[in-house]
Amino acid sequence: MDKITEMYTTVNANVHRGVHFLSQAATEEHEASRRTVQQFINAASADEIVFTRGATESINMVASSFCSRFCTEGDEILITAMEHHSNIVPWQLQGEKQGLKLRVAPINEEGELLLDELEKLISTRTKLIAVTHISNVLGTINPIKEIIQLAHRHDIPVLIDAAQSVQHTKVDVQALDCDFLVFSSHKIYGPTGVGVLYGKERWLNAIPPYQGGGEMIETVTFEKTTFNKLPYKFEAGTPDYIGTAALATALDYVSALGIEEIAHYEHELLTYATEKLLQVPGLRIIGTAGNKSSVISFLVDGIHPYDMGTLLDRMGIAVRTGHHCAEPLMRQLGVDGTVRASFAFYNTKEEVDLLVKGILRIVKMF
């Protein structure tokens, strides 16, 4: 918030547009933010970092630009059963335009991806695999490095949805060798309305722009337009340079805390909360993968998730309830929705105790 105020009060001018002081200062901030993101995910070049409105927009960009360039009727996009709607619907929308099919890799009862089944679904028509790093419902941490290696053996590029992972675990795009990766600023303590699309330079160069407008062009005539170099080709219009500066500030903050330390502490909270919650009579945890992030979805016998959520809210405890933007997953799990407690580095064991106490009170009431 301090960074946002600083930007609005000291360097508020449009980027890449003027030789005047404020425009240059804002441009320098915006490009420095891009380098911060590059370093945070260890991209090979800042040109591989495209600023977007969020993970959702980033996936829509890839669905539209990648598929229009590389897919033809009958081609397939492979996703998993635990995807967020934002990694399902963009492929369906594009699929309708081009006659593409969506293939879905199944999960087991614990909420783990069945890698063998995923591999069986790969065909000569598979053009891209899009998979979440961490499930927002189950907390499952997918073996994305293995998936990427497997996909590359078949010459298939991979998009990683890192919306739920960059804030909880180290993400190194070069070590992973992923082709695209997306995340949202607001889930990593930055402002809303900003996000990132990482793409390997060769892919970003190979696919057409998603939107047209100012900034993204090299020359324009009424007959033909040539496009700007990366990453500007994908950043039509005025970017949210205030938001990107604040995102970079948030990333610096997370880096200063140490992502490994965050992961370690959150895992401790997860273990503690899991043990405590399992002591509640009738409570069932949905998502019990061996490798889990610090979210716990649960149901308590005879208590609707909305009732649980509403009553916990009265006690000042915020949990998510419902389908968590993953309706197909809910259907597969045979539930309408769940209650989900998510733990971040700022949560404490005392807060876990309060949550458990609250649930026990509600169980008694029912």
Shortest reach from residue 163's CB to ligand PLP, in Å: 4
Q: What CA–CA distance (Å, rounded) separates 77 from 97?
A: 14
The nearer residue to ligand PLP, 161 or 240, going by C-beta atoms, is: 161
The catalytic position among 67, 71, 178, 325 is: 325
The one-letter amino acid code at 6 reads E
* Closer CB to ligand PLP, 191 or 209, in the complex: 191
Contact present, 355 and 312 (Cβ < 8 Å) = yes
Instruction: Map residue 334 onto helix, strand or coil.
Output: coil
Q: Is 199 helix (H, G, I), strand (E, B) or coil?
A: strand
Cβ-based nearer residue to ligand PLP, 188 or 245: 188
| Cβ partners under 8 Å of residue 153, min gap 6 | none
- Give residues in contact with ligand PLP (CB under 6 A): 54-56, 84, 86-87, 132, 136, 161, 163-164, 184, 325
Do residues 125 and 78 lie in contact, with contact meaning Cβ atoms separated by under 8 Å?
Answer: no
As measured in angstroms, the least distance from the Cβ of 59 to ligand PLP is 7
- Shortest Cβ 272–ligand PLP spacing (Å): 23
Going by the DSSP 8-state scheme, the letter that residue 74 receives in this structure is: T
Instruction: Please give the single-letter amino acid code of residue 187.
Output: K
* Residue 183 structure tokens: 């995340």
Q: Which two tokens stand for residue 250?
A: 């948030």
CA atoms in the 13 A half-sphere facing the CB of 303: 27
Identify which of residues 92 and 348 has a Cβ nearer to ligand PLP in the complex.
Answer: 92
Instruction: Please say if 325 is a catalytic residue.
Output: yes
What angle do the packed helices 349-365 and 259-277 form, to 10 degrees?
Answer: 30
Nearest distance from C-beta of residue 219 to ligand PLP, angstroms: 33
Q: Report, in Å, the least distance between residue 364 CB and ligand PLP.
A: 32
Cβ-based nearer residue to ligand PLP, 89 or 280? 89
Looking at the annotation, which residues are catalytic? 325
